Amino acid sequence: MHELGVVFHMVDLLEDAAREHGLSRIDKVTVSLGEVSGVVTDFFEDAWLWASERSDVLKDAELEIYQIEAVNVCNDCGKTYKAVPQGRICLHCGSSRTELLYGTELEIDSIEGC
């Protein structure tokens, strides 16, 4: 389960940010998590609960996750479409010349603390 390693890294970043901004605790963390990021949301949340309870700064901090839908763009027709149900073949013109625009994100969006 690589989610635990991802969360450990995130905890380190958050603790560094808290020190840098003079926060004694973080109450809420908001993250964006892409649909095809490779991170399983349930495992990520479980890892967060476990790891955050072991940090003085993050103990009892809320984790809010925004799911980012995976979206492809077609290089031939220029249209976008949902990547997960469709895959790489363009829904509109049938081209295989497509690229993933969104959906791989794992970003800390905001931190609330005191």
pLDDT in tens, the chain (114 residues): 589 999 999 999 999 999 999 999 999 999 999 999 999 999 999 999 999 999 999 999 999 999 999 999 999 999 999 999 889 999 999 999 999 999 999 999 999 998
In the prediction, which pLDDT does 1 show? 59
Residue 23 pLDDT? 96
Please report the beta strands in 1-114, taking only residues with DSSP state E, as ranges in sequence order: 26-34, 62-68, 71-74, 80-82, 98-102, 106-113
d(CA 109, CA 48): 16
- The answer to whether domain 3-69+103-113 has CATH 3.30.2320.50 is yes
Give the model's pLDDT for residue 73. 97
- Give the integer Cα–Cα distance in Å for 37 and 106: 7
4: which residues sit within 8 A by CB, 6+ positions away? 43, 47, 50, 51
Domain ranges for the chain: 3-69+103-113
